Structure 1
């Protein structure tokens, strides 16, 4: 957002993304066999998280350094490895594109 001091946009984005992160709350259940990767609840949380992540990336004020910290690739890799998402999932493709757009408009470091 315009007018945010250094680091505020990054802090806000990390907080927003973390609140809905399926990795923290639900993937452990998949790994333990208590939930299936195809569970409707997990899918709904994941879909919501993808959208929230995209919204967070649309904030103004990120540097390239900030965006490297917000790179969704590691989390998307985990979600695809456990079968929650596929590489051709529209939300995954959209989030990757949003990240690349944010990188292209970012300033500095």
Structure 2
């Protein structure tokens, strides 16, 4: 883990930026979550998010992995996503994807 205090101090000195001394890197939840993609949400297995057949899982993952930085900027953390199950049914079948945001 990087020493954020040192980075803040260097940025403050080098660029004359006023940053509160107690500025912290935001805490971030790195628990995995499951997205179900399919026509009918009620037909999905256990999941945290649902997207319809014609939608992508990516925007859901990116939103969940976005963190607000101390300077007000938003940053999408790196993440992993893996298909954990697929089955046929209805318009497009049902796919369950497990995603996890990186801690750093």
Q: TM-score, normalised by structure 2?
A: 0.28
**TM-score for both structures, normalised by structure 1:** 0.28
* Structure whose alpha-carbon radius of gyration is higher: 2
Q: Which structure is richer in relative contact order (CA contacts within 8 A, separation 6 or more)?
A: 1
Structure with the higher fraction of residues in helix conformation? 1
